[in-house]
Chain A
């Protein structure tokens, strides 16, 4: 039996996550791995927004910030368990995305980019300036999730880094599964239709404004959960998680890896998370090399890394 592309993608992803630790020489690699998965989750959300629906957001770190600070603040002020705090953050992000998305998604292209950028800056300003609540630019501590201790109690004893590697890997696989489900579903078709031709989508009955909002809200929840995971594993958070640079990183990872493909975008997240570590061999030229790699990929593989590579392999096979 030939596997569907959905099953293939999930198998590849799960296999890489499960097998990679065999080659890890130190626990530091678990740490890098879990950072890749956290970024990969945010980027999977952006595949839905950018790759499926064809809309841009340069402010999605704002939602990561909301998810992160929910985990820091809700346990202290509301007495919530950190896991519930992450859920609260996701609902809050969805609600804010709904309110913000309605007016800004009327805009197209550059105008949408600038408006979403404004939203991201707004969130990071609030996180930086409400020092009494958020600790300001110095950041604040985040309570322990407690899942590792619970696992230990039932006999599964993982190191801190190994636990976060496995846990964020699991969340990423679930996130990828949902995004792949969406791709082939009626909702995903409506999103890809309005991406292909807004006017044609309208004439087959797609409520374009509604579906753009659906994609925006879903991707905001992905970013929020990603921010929560980052906060919980670092046990400390600064406003940078919600900052402009983080928004740009997310979009760059998505586009570099291939915005139309879940696996591609996750590959983009993996490369841009690890490349700065690898390029340290170039010492002071590290940033220069990073910029060069990004430019070369976009010039020669404009669909992004993975879609371009698979297209070339298929082309050769025929």
Chain B
């Protein structure tokens, strides 16, 4: 049975059909990538699934429950978390605090206990700090824990966002261009991390421009163009699909070849 089911999802921006009739599903532990040219509606689709935008049409079903138009904090309680294409880091906090903040649902408690710093509040804080340190180690930021988040490189901030999202212990993780701006080594690390997380049973929905990475780690690929799904299937099938090559891969492959050369 699928964990996340997207059915006929669509939204309009001022008469423009930004996304229309997009549907697919994710099984536990599966990595599904959404690809398509810039402006195809990938991030808009993410924003609808994660409750940032309210879709005009269609349904989002999480583990049998209709969660369409549910606000992000309630989706978080149901185990859906995400990262952002344009980084959304808590800039004034340390790297560690960013990761600890991701534990909100596990560490929140009575405000009065927090104000008076009662043992319950200390215990909750200590637990989430320990877990946050482990997560930072996992994404390779263990040694940067005490630094100000704003001082990290772009690639490191991308990994910090992933650590923060993992803190939720999500069942479904939406990653919006996790490897953008990362060098080859960092991309490989992120690649490895995503595969590892999926192997633990977390369903991953990925938007990524690095085609090599997408082809390597995806179980299933959904191709968007002008807000519509034009193809979906296994990586090998997608790579041969003439519509996909025309809409996206052709241009991308040429660019990549040029960049490599």
Contacts and interface: CB of A to CB of B under 8 A. Distances in A.
Contacts of B154: none
B143 interface: no
A64 interface: no
A214 B111 contact: yes
Given A196-B93, A204-B164, A186 B76 contact: no
B168 interface: yes
B66 to A, nearest CB: 20
Contacts of B104: 186, 189-190, 193, 201, 204-206
A205 B90 contact: no
B81 A203 contact: yes
Contact of B111 (A187, A195, A197, A201): A187
B210 interface: no
B145 to A, nearest CB: 15
Given A185-B125, A186-B109, A190-B104, A196 B92 contact: yes
B123 to A, nearest CB: 11
Contact of B91 (A186, A187, A196, A205): A196
A185 B102 contact: no
A192 interface: yes
A203 B77 CA distance: 9
A185 B117 contact: yes
Given A202-B73, A208-B73, A178 B116 contact: yes
Nearest to A186: B107
Contacts of B91: 196
B105 interface: yes
A261 B105 CA distance: 26
Given A199-B72, A260-B92, A204 B102 contact: yes
A35 B82 CA distance: 48
A200 interface: yes
Q: How large is the interface on A (under 10, 10 to 19, 20 to 34, 35 or more residues)?
A: 20 to 34
B90 A192 contact: yes
Contacts of B164: 200, 204
Contacts of B105: 204-205
Contacts of B33: none
Interface string A126-150: 0000000000000000000000000
Contacts of B40: none
A200 B114 contact: no
Contact of B117 (A181, A204, A205, A260): A181
Contacts of A185: 114-115, 117, 121, 125
B84 A186 contact: no
Interface in A152-191: 178, 181-182, 184-190
A169 to B, nearest CB: 20
B76 A193 contact: no
Nearest to A6: B117
16 contacts: A185-B115, A186-B124, A188-B114, A189-B93, A193-B101, A196-B92, A199-B52, A200-B88, A203-B50, A203-B72, A203-B75, A203-B76, A204-B103, A204-B164, A218-B111, A260-B92
Nearest to B128: A186
A182 B73 contact: no
Given A186-B125, A202-B71, A205-B73, A181 B111 contact: no
B108 interface: yes
B166 to A, nearest CB: 11
A262 B30 CA distance: 48
Contacts of B115: 178, 181-182, 185, 187, 218
Contacts of A184: 125
A196 B90 contact: yes
Contacts of A181: 114-117, 121
Interface string A191-235: 011011101111111111000001000100000000000000000
Interface in B94-112: 97, 100-105, 107-109, 111
Contact of A205 (B76, B84, B89): B76
Contact of B108 (A190, A208, A260): A190
B180 to A, nearest CB: 17
B84 A200 contact: yes
Contacts of B109: 186
